[in-house]
Amino acid sequence: MIVKTPPLGWNSWNTFGHNINETMIKEMADAMVETGLRDAGYEYLVIDDCWSLHERDENGKLVADPEKFPGGMKAVADYVHSKGLKFGMYSCDGTMTCARYPSSFDYEFIDAATFAEWGVDFLKYDNCNRPVNYPGRLLYKRMGLALANCGRDILFSACNWGVDNSPEWIKETGAHMWRSTGDIVDNWQSIKDLTLAQLPLLKTNGQGCFNDMDMLVVGMGGKGNVGVGGCTVEEYRTHFSIWAFFGSPLMIGCDIRDMSEETKAILMNKEVLAVNQDPAYRQPFEINTVHWASELAWSAWARFMENGDIALGFFNLSDHNTNPCLAMADLGLGGRSGKALKIRDLWAGEDLGTFKDQFVANVPAHGARLFRGQIVDA
C-alpha cells in the first residue's frame, strides 16, 4: 500500500474522548456524506481510544465494549463502508492505551488479524505505557510488519508525537503517516506551538509517509474533550491553512453533525484542499520570515504544484496586523525572466491580477492568506 497524498478524514477523540458509541459513529458516517465532506475528499472515519472492554477474550483477542458497540465492530465497519467511506480504529504499542484500555504490545499479529477480520482500513497506533527496554523504534516496526502481513490494506498511522528521535527511524516502520507533534488542544496557543514545532521537521514530510500535525480543532468552539478555550473563526482558518499548506493529513475533530456555515467553508474549500492534495507533493519552502523580539512573527512560504503553479502561504502568528512582501526575484520571476505571477486568493476565491516585481498582502493578527500563482508572460 502506497499513500500518495495526505489522508483526510474524521476522528472521534477531539470532541468525544471516551464518550463514543455505535449510534454516534453511524451518525458521523451519515454526516460525512450529507454535509459533502466525503465528496470533498474526507475518506476515513476513525474511532480513537476507549472502544474496547478492559479485558481480552479467552483467545487473547480484543473485544469491542458491547454497551458502546452492541452490534460489534464488524457491523460498524460494514455501515461505514456502505457509505463509501473507510473505517479506522486505534491501538497502542504499550501494554495499555493512553486511556488504559488493553493495547497491542506482544499481541501485534493477533490484533492486526482482528482488525483485518473486522474490515478496518486505518490504524492509529499510539505510544503510551511501553514496557521498559522496548523502544518505539522496535515496537512500531513490529506493528508495521503485522499490518503488512494481515491480508488487508490497512493504513498505518503512527502516533508517537515525534519523540525518541522518530524522524530518524519512523519511515523504517512502514508507517504511512506519523504524528510529528504533541497533542493539540482547541486554542490559539496550541496552534501556534504546534506550527513552530513543525518547522524543523518539514523536510522529513513526503509521499508514502506524511508528517501528521495532529487532528484539526476547526469548528470545535471550545466544546468537547480537547475544547480548552476555543478559537476565533480567523484562527481556525489559519490553523487549517497551515496544516493544509504544510501537507499534513487533515483529520477533522469537531462534531460534524452540527457544523456552522463558516466551519464548512473552511473544511471544504476545494482550492485549499487541492494544494494539500497536490499529486506531486513537493515540500514547502520559506521565502520570507520576520521575527519580532526574537519570536517568529510572520512568514511567507511557497510550494511548487504539479502543474507548474506556485502555491503561496502567508502566515501571521503575531498579535499585530502585517503586510508581508514577496519579491518575485525570490522565485526567479520578474527581471530578465520575462515572467510574472498571476495570483488568485484561495480563501476569497478571487483573481487579484498579475505581479512582476513584488506582491504585498495584508495579513491580520493570527491570520493566514493562501494564494495560487500561475506563471505568465510579464
Interacting residue ranges for ligand GLA, rule: CB under 6 A: 13, 48-49, 97-99, 126, 159, 183
- Shortest spacing between CB 210 and ligand GLA, in angstroms: 16
* Cα gap 13→258, rounded to integer Å: 16
Instruction: Report in angstroms how near the CB of residue 331 gets to ligand GLA at its nearest.
Output: 37
Q: How far is the CB of 112 from ligand GLA (least distance, A)?
A: 19
Give me the least distance between CB of 48 and ligand GLA, in Å please.
5
Grid cell digits, residue 356? 512582476
Q: Indicate the residue among 13 and 69 with the shorter CB distance to ligand GLA.
A: 13
248 burial type by CB count under 10 A (0-12 exposed, 13-18 middle, 19+ buried): buried
* Smallest gap from residue 183 Cβ to ligand GLA (A): 5
CB of 97 vs ligand GLA, minimal distance in Å: 6
The residue from 30, 164, 183, 345 that is catalytic is 183
Contact 248, 240 (CB under 8 A): no
Angle at 276 between CA 271 and CA 281, to 5 degrees: 125
Q: DSSP assignment of 300-322, as one string?
A: EEEEE-TTS-EEEEEEE-SSS-B
> H or E segment at 40?
helix 37-40
Q: Indicate the residue among 48 and 309 with the shorter CB distance to ligand GLA.
A: 48
Query: Cβ closer to ligand GLA: 24 or 99?
Result: 99
Q: Which residue has the cell 510529528?
A: 180
- How far apart, in Å, do the first and last CA atoms of the chain sit? 44
Examine the residue annotation and report whether 377 is marked as an active-site residue of this protein.
no
Q: Would you call 348 helix, strand, or coil by DSSP?
A: coil
Note if 183 is an active site residue.
Answer: yes
Q: Do 254 and 11 touch, CB atoms closer than 8 A?
A: no
Residue nearest ligand GLA, Cβ-based: 98
> Helix or strand or coil: residue 33?
helix
Where do the DSSP E strands lie in the chain? Answer: 8-11, 44-46, 86-92, 122-126, 155-158, 177-179, 210-212, 250-252, 285-292, 295-304, 310-316, 325-327, 339-345, 350-355, 358-360, 368-377
Query: Toward ligand GLA, which CB reaches closer, 99 or 233?
Result: 99
CA 252 remoteness from chain centre? 8
The full DSSP string for 106-158 is: T-HHHHHHHHHHHT--EEEEE--SPPTT--HHHHHHHHHHHHHTSSS--EEEE
How far apart (Å, rounded) are the C-alpha atoms in residues 85 and 90?
17
Q: Which of 49, 93, 121, 126 is catalytic?
A: 126
Dist CA 290 CA 328 (whole Å): 18
Q: How far is the CB of 126 from ligand GLA (least distance, A)?
A: 5
Q: Kindly tell me which of 49 and 255 has the beta carbon lying closer to ligand GLA.
A: 49
* Residue closer to ligand GLA, measured from CB, 106 or 183: 183
Q: Smaller CB distance to ligand GLA: residue 14 or 204?
A: 14
Question: Which residue numbers are catalytic?
Answer: 126, 183
